[in-house]
Structure 1
């Protein structure tokens, strides 16, 4: 009986220790008081000056990202061109702040890219006075430019255990991407690939959090350079992805739920993202699925609490492809699209990758006017987007 009581006492003590353990504590360096990206007073002044001039519609427009295809069409030979009338209509009505992807998901030539982007930017400056920011999935080289340099996938880069190879490949990709007037890539992928069934295992740096942290950090330096407040014309912004737990889906299939212990989530899966934002990554893309039953696009504790507030990170948190829709079509945590937007924006989403629709603009205006999204949250999101554009010297 004494042995049983002793065992129960030890178990109770162990449980008490575990319950008080700092599994969800802030990083030891207390980076909340020392932001991971040092604030630049000049940029902050420019951001505030621009922000106060914008209407609610213009602020919401900066939070939107559409696909390039919407701004043009194919000619009789199947070659894409920018339709200036259509572009003017979209930008004047919705004030869109960001555009992604190559037209027809094919790789244009450098001259085509220059023409497409200059046409859109000319109209954007006329209608909004703020340039659009373009983004591409340059995950293993300049994959969306004809004649661009291609590198091995990240899983092969990780196999070298060589930080310099990771940095230099990213640096070369940045050079070629910025040369075609695109200043942003949705890379590097730092999900921990801990399930070989996952169909995107080749895109990350493997299962180890230290290796993923070091390789991811090296790529951020290669893509952006060492000063995130002053990204020159040879470098581009990064988007660490997919925040987080994306690489261990319970079914093995892409974009499906993961179940991860709180300790592993904090100590392992969070680590590469923390390393990346400490290196200065200007943006982070969110996991398309759910972790432990909570859709990541709705998880305010992690998106705002862990990523923004604990670290002082002032970058842009962007959705993946049309993922806010999943909150009501798949996850069933929202009753409709408007409700899904309310949940996601209040959780901490700053930019909505809504490729083929501008519906979100109207819904967000309604939500603000109804008091369901505070104006301070819209200002914060828009401020982050503007800050990225100033840091890129757009």
Structure 2
């Protein structure tokens, strides 16, 4: 059922703004939760947030508000919209916003898992399916994607990220923006939603991996790395950017004119709506840059925060602020216009409601569930395999054991409105995928009857980190696998049965103490609604894993932050203690960025380079062949790195510059071509100027060195 969208001319929008009182304008810049209009209804609403003045929201003020967060279902959004419009003087509809980070009710793999597909098409489609479900439920704006660059897996929100590489993070974020909005040039289609890029800026670089913590770095590091994902993703024109909680070089970002205006607005050319994170305007008082709510509100308004999320300091203090600083009225008017224009683009003035029948056909439909399964399979990464996977067809008596054997809690954090009851557990998935298996599943080895253990052919250890241990506010100092699960693996090893480990987590874990006891390891992150079926198809050999890591796995918790593109050192890590290493730990990560195995024994050959010199206007083309000598059709991820051999400023040991996801049919060979331009070799020098220097560069395809080329001016 398609609803035709009618929009007013911009002239009418300007006339509407002209008719608004100042209080009504400030109301449009304020976001609250929905229970004020209809009361708390089951689990369809989030809890009321910080910074509320209940007295302020009494009377007509409540009917000036511009947007609502955290409400779900078409029935409830329609109910709130109806109650609001009955008493709204100008009948300006409410925007409804939500956090559907990796799905709304059909839940896809967590973003860190999705990033391991390296496939922009997959992420675009995940966003498109999510947008359809959101819009059918009456929601207009989604607080996604998060492109914060992360190098420290102690940070709980790493599960929302796309990993440690800036180029990949930006590209995948851009793909999701395109998928949410479903239209080119920043427009929103009939069943799309406004995307919100977050969290600007450098939120993933909190000191010590602690959430909400201080960020302090050079501007060279910011513009070349931590700022780059936002710069790339913004090219897809999201309707929103969310400011981050953290301070950046001493100033809270929500109060930073440098970050929000000089960089986001001027340098990165973002001209749409900026919204604060939850309660961040009020928290400027906790940062101690504002003495009271009035100062906090003025700082945020001055920095360019258009919408204050879940606090009401703008409404409480606007009169005093404008008496002191009347020039801010121009910025308020500009913010109101952007919000009204978005509501107009969404067709809300003509039809502020949603057809409640849509949910039944859109949500958890078979097409989205099938895609969720495919996305889950491609997000899994085979980290280790001593020929124990796939499970041999001669093994029929399979024992699945561990805390994740039977659980349906495989959605991960930020599961939005996903339900565990809709999830296929691992044991159930294996039964569905292969009915010939004699399968039993237990939470511990002690639960398994002795005779059953003795008779089984093969054991799957289902291990990992509980989903509640990652996500916002869940940073951890210890990211090792817990002792009970380590002992489980050792006990399984003692049975002398063939076995493999399947691991679920929201972050890379530190596995050095147990990795030698794991003969095969399939890392599944949190795969979503279709988890069990997807993993079972990989374990039983109906399909092959193809994902590659986008974040390095440390050996021990204390080794983080660890990442592949670290800067060259005067004393590179080697066997000597007097080098850049820990004396009690092997050099490097346990599993590095870009690592990932398949069942295919892929062969790379026929490497060719179009030339060995690159100049302005003369690119270098690198081609090679990928042979798949197996019965699987799969997606090979080819990654091109460069190494700048000599430069005036210290450069990373290695940098990923290009990648391509290519489908390789069974028993076929495909040719891959990647192009390096002079722009790919630019970097910021110490004066923050784009620089490219003559000299030699090495090329690596995945882990193999292939050639050297030079830059000539």
Tell me if TM exceeds 0.5.
yes
Q: What SS does structure 1 have at the residue aligned with 2:39?
A: strand
Q: How does 1:1-394 map onto structure 2 within 5 Å?
A: 44-74=10-40, 92-94=60-62, 95-102=64-71, 110-120=73-83, 122-123=85-86, 126-142=88-104, 148-228=105-185, 230-328=187-285, 330-355=286-311, 358-371=312-325, 374-394=328-348
Taking the aligned partners of 2:43 and 2:126, their CA distance within structure 1 comes to 31
Of 148-157 and 261-270, deviating more is 261-270
Point out the structure with the larger strand share: 2
Per-residue CA distance 1:165-185 (angstroms, 9 max, x = gap)? 000000000001000111110
8 A Cα contact 1:224 1:235, kept in partner: yes
Please list every run of 5 or more consecutive structure 2 residues that lacks an aligned counterpart in the other structure.
1-6, 46-53, 349-713
8 A Cα contact 2:170 2:233, kept in partner: yes
Per-residue CA distance 1:207-230 (angstroms, 9 max, x = gap)? 111000110000001000223564
Partner of 2:696: none
What is the Cα deviation at residue 72 of structure 1?
A: 2.9
Aligned length: 331
Distance 1:388-1:90 versus aligned 2 partners, 3 A rule: farther
What is the Cα deviation at residue 55 of structure 1?
A: 1.5
Partner of 1:8: none
Taking the aligned partners of 1:290 and 1:139, their CA distance within structure 2 comes to 24
Distance 1:74-1:332 versus aligned 2 partners, 3 A rule: closer
Per-residue CA distance 1:98-152 (angstroms, 9 max, x = gap)? 11013xxxxx5x453354344245336x43321111100000100xxxxx21100
Per-residue CA distance 1:285-314 (angstroms, 9 max, x = gap)? 011010121110111011011111334422
What TM-score results when the alignment is normalised by the length of structure 1?
A: 0.78
Larger CA Rg, structure 1 vs 2: 2
Taking the aligned partners of 2:290 and 2:209, their CA distance within structure 1 comes to 26
What TM-score results when the alignment is normalised by the length of structure 2?
A: 0.44
8 A Cα contact 1:62 1:96, kept in partner: yes
Taking the aligned partners of 2:148 and 2:168, their CA distance within structure 1 comes to 11
Distance 1:196-1:177 versus aligned 2 partners, 3 A rule: same
Distance 1:121-1:73 versus aligned 2 partners, 3 A rule: closer
Distance 1:267-1:123 versus aligned 2 partners, 3 A rule: farther
Taking the aligned partners of 1:80 and 1:278, their CA distance within structure 2 comes to 34
Distance 1:384-1:327 versus aligned 2 partners, 3 A rule: same
Taking the aligned partners of 1:393 and 1:249, their CA distance within structure 2 comes to 40
Per-residue CA distance 1:240-265 (angstroms, 9 max, x = gap)? 11101100110311111112221121
8 A Cα contact 2:167 2:232, kept in partner: no
Taking the aligned partners of 2:319 and 2:262, their CA distance within structure 1 comes to 25
Taking the aligned partners of 1:373 and 1:340, their CA distance within structure 2 comes to 17
8 A Cα contact 1:314 1:384, kept in partner: no
Taking the aligned partners of 1:44 and 1:264, their CA distance within structure 2 comes to 41
What is the Cα deviation at residue 372 of structure 1?
A: 5.7
Distance 1:260-1:359 versus aligned 2 partners, 3 A rule: closer
Distance 1:113-1:373 versus aligned 2 partners, 3 A rule: same
Higher relative contact order (CA 8 A, sep 6+): 1
